[in-house]
Amino acid sequence: MSVVRRTYSPLFRCTLYKNDGSRKDGFEGVGGTIEDAINQAVAGCHSTNNPYCSQYGNDPNHTTCKFDVAASEAVTEYDADKLPDITGAVSAYTCSLKSSGARAATYYGTGASEQDARTAAANSCNKDNLFNCLDLSKNPDYTTCGGSYLIDGPRPSMLWSCSLYKNDGSRRDGFEGQGDSIDEARNKAAAVCKSTNNPYCDAYAKDPAHTKCATKVVYPGQ
């Protein structure tokens, strides 16, 4: 009997635009932290020899980041009378797809139905850019399926926190905003700032000299 443990990890996707009119623009960065994703996007920008890439990486007018979740699965085979604690696990199907040739590898797919599991195995295979994954998932010489238990790990979410400072010399300064997205956090900080009747709060919310934002990965129960 197969036991599938699915785990999740945070993933950030950042896109940097120089907006300088050149044809080469729009640099992608992906990483487990927002800093890694921004640095990757900045590195791509540097390939154009633009001297402001590092500055653009911290400027929300040039760089936007989105939170995503990466999932991975590990499959372990057990004798039916030696199963581990599967409290909370759900019944599922698992398919094992074995490719051939110079890039031979084994790909797993899990789903509520056997067809879902075959499709998931083919999708995993496709990530290695093999052209015949869907056909292999239907071929019993390459793909085998069976019942399994799925232990689904906790799925993280992201909490964004932004601190806005007018820096105008007034005693009332420093405004906090939180949200599921960076835009929501900025807007909430700007909304509190507006209670002081400062006309520039919205602009300050997108100005890295006035607003700093940070992220925190949150798991269920925390």
What mean pLDDT do residues 167-186 have? 94
Assess whether 142 and 126 both reside in one domain. Answer: yes
Of 152, 170, 198, the position where a domain reaches its end is 152
Assess whether 111 and 56 both reside in one domain. Answer: no
Tell me, yes or no, whether 183 lies in a domain: yes
Which segments within 25-156 are labelled E, that is strand? 27-31, 63-77, 90-98, 106-111, 143-152
pTM beyond 0.75: the answer is: no
pLDDT single digits (tens) 10-66? 999 999 999 999 999 999 999 999 999 999 999 999 999 999 999 999 999 999 998
Tell me, yes or no, whether 79 lies in a domain: no
Assess whether 128 and 182 both reside in one domain. Answer: no
The whole-number pLDDT of residue 222 equals 66
Tell me, yes or no, whether 77 lies in a domain: no
Q: Which domain range does residue 47 map to? A: 9-69
Of 102, 125, 152, the position where a domain reaches its end is 152
pLDDT band at 127 (very low <50, low <70, confident <90, very high): confident
How many domains would you assign to the chain?
3
Tell me, yes or no, whether 204 lies in a domain: yes
List own/partner pairs for 183-188 with CB under 8 A and 24 or more apart.
184/160, 185/160, 185/161, 185/213, 186/60, 186/162, 186/211, 186/213, 188/162
Assess whether 131 and 171 both reside in one domain. Answer: no
Tell me, yes or no, whether 132 lies in a domain: yes
Of 136, 152, 168, the position where a domain reaches its end is 152
104: pLDDT strictly greater than 70:
yes
Higher pLDDT, 52 or 127: 52
Tell me, yes or no, whether 76 lies in a domain: no
As a whole number, the mean pLDDT across the chain is 93
Tell me, yes or no, whether 18 lies in a domain: yes
Here the tokens at position 189 are 């900080």
Tell me, yes or no, whether 78 lies in a domain: no
